[in-house]
Amino acid sequence: MAGKSLTAGKSLGPVRRAFAPWNDPAAKPFIQFQNVTKTFGDFTAVDDLSLNIYEREFFALLGPSGCGKTTLMRMIAGFEEPTSGHVMLDGQDLVGVPPYRRPTNMMFQSYALFPHMNVWDNIAFGLKQDGMAKADIATRVDEMLALVKLEKFARRKPHQLSGGQKQRVALARSLAKKPKVLLLDEPLGALDKKLREETQFELIDLQVRLGMTFVIVTHDQEEAMTVADRIALMDQGKIVQIATPGEIYEQPNSRYVADFIGDINILEGKVTSTEGGVATLDCIGTGAKVQVTQDGGAKLGDEAWFAIRPEKVSISLTPPEDPSVNAVSGEVWDIGYLGDVSIYHIRLATGATVKSTITNTTRLVSRPITWEDKVWLTWSRDGGVVLTR
């Protein structure tokens, strides 16, 4: 199915850009977790967690395996009941409501297509449970088949479909009942990389066009960043940070978040000044002072960490002319050539290694900067962040 998009026509950019109900104090949350705790024996999967998800939001639950993200989603679907706390959907308390009476539908990681039914019957299954009229079911199923471009495959059994086609059937089946919330449990995990990336954009288009609330569980940070309006990064049953992909990447609130999302250099230091919105760190890692703009998170005398993404560190063979810019010298230790970018590992005099990525804007004939070169690393005050935990 490569190259075919589920949607055509105008870009949905303006719709996506304007959407930010979480900044609006008057907005009513659509899904609410209120002090939810879930324990399995002595293992705490979800720990006193509160969370608001808004209508029409594409919300991602991200985290390593065992962090509680799947349990959280299964509590919305009704497969798990919270040990304590409340899960609300559209003002209604979901606790005690069995999964077959909830206005949510889920797309399973394994797709869970019924192997003894063909594509048509799989999609019609949920509609039949509602006692919908036969003619209406037929119309709706055909509509869903058209939506996922599988009209020709209606009579196929699941084992006669490729992975990508199965994924589309699963999507169509979970959308057929027009659920208030669509839950996606690692929906693209079984697809190869190329198909996965295409499908991510198709999911976004579909979500905006249908105006539905999507909650996705994933351990793939790129997937979460691509599709989601907001991401909740979880660790050990708690949410570490909820933010838009941009914020979570550029303004991580802790070393855990900074380290989980993307690649980053983290260097330990001590705050020696916080004047004028600029924190100055005595950085043990770089062996020099580092200045970072900040909004007051780090206090004077705090132990803190300076974190900067490799693409925000520039390399040059000469020292910077502007003495106020952050700079440190080192030696090229290793180079990783990835095609689009090269990753340089620079060993500093302190023994610390700082990574810097350089975009390969021309075909690689010879490297201007190569192994064992003495280089200067520079970055602006806005390039990195100071983290206190």
Partner 1 sequence: MRRGPSWFNITAITLGFAFLYLPIVLLVIYSFNASKLVTVWGGFSTKWYVSLLSNQGLLDAAWVTIRVALLSATLATVLGTLAAIALVRFGRFPGGTLFSGMVYAPLVMPEVITGLAMLLLFVAIGFARGFWTLTLAHITFSMCFVAVVVQSRLITFDRSLEEAALDLGCPPFKTFFTITLPLILPAVVAGWMLAFTLSLDDLVISSFTTGPGATTLPMKIYSQVRLGVTPEINAICSILIGIVATGVIIASIVTKRREVERQRAERLALQIG
The stretch near partner 1 (CB under 8 A) out of 28-36, 111-119, 135-143, 373-381 is: 111-119
Structure tokens at 269: 């230091």
Q: Within 10 A of 28 (CB to CB), how many other CB atoms are there? A: 12
CB of 156 to partner 1, least distance (A): 8
Contact 206, 35 (CB under 8 A): no
Question: Parallel, antiparallel, or unpaired for β 104-107 and 181-185?
Answer: parallel
The stretch near partner 1 (CB under 8 A) out of 63-71, 107-115, 139-147, 222-230 is: 107-115
Q: Does 162 bind partner 1 (CB under 8 A)?
A: yes
Instruction: Name which of 105, 86, 101, 110 is nearest 29 in CA terms.
Output: 86
Map residue 381 onto helix, strand or coil. Answer: coil
Q: Which CB sits closer to partner 1, 43 or 114? A: 114
Structure tokens at 25: 């104090």
Q: Which CB sits closer to partner 1, 125 or 376? A: 125
d(CA 158, CA 167): 10
- Which whole-number Å values give the CA distances from 253 to 22, 189, 227, 307, 388, in the listed order? 18, 28, 21, 11, 8
Contact 371, 365 (CB under 8 A): no
Q: Does 163 bind partner 1 (CB under 8 A)?
A: yes
CB of 49 to partner 1, least distance (A): 22
**Contact positions with partner 1 (CB under 8 A) in 127-146:** 129-130
**Contact positions with partner 1 (CB under 8 A) in 67-96:** 77-79
Q: Does 164 bind partner 1 (CB under 8 A)?
A: yes
Strands of the sheet containing 326-337, edge to edge, are 314-316, 374-379, 326-337, 341-348, 353-359
Determine which residue in the list 19, 66, 88, 99 makes contact with partner 1, applying CB under 8 A. Answer: 99
Q: Does 101 bind partner 1 (CB under 8 A)?
A: yes
Q: Which CB sits closer to partner 1, 72 or 233? A: 72
Which positions lie near partner 1, rule CB under 8 A?
1, 77-79, 98-102, 104-106, 108-110, 112-116, 125-126, 129-130, 156-157, 159-165, 173-174, 177
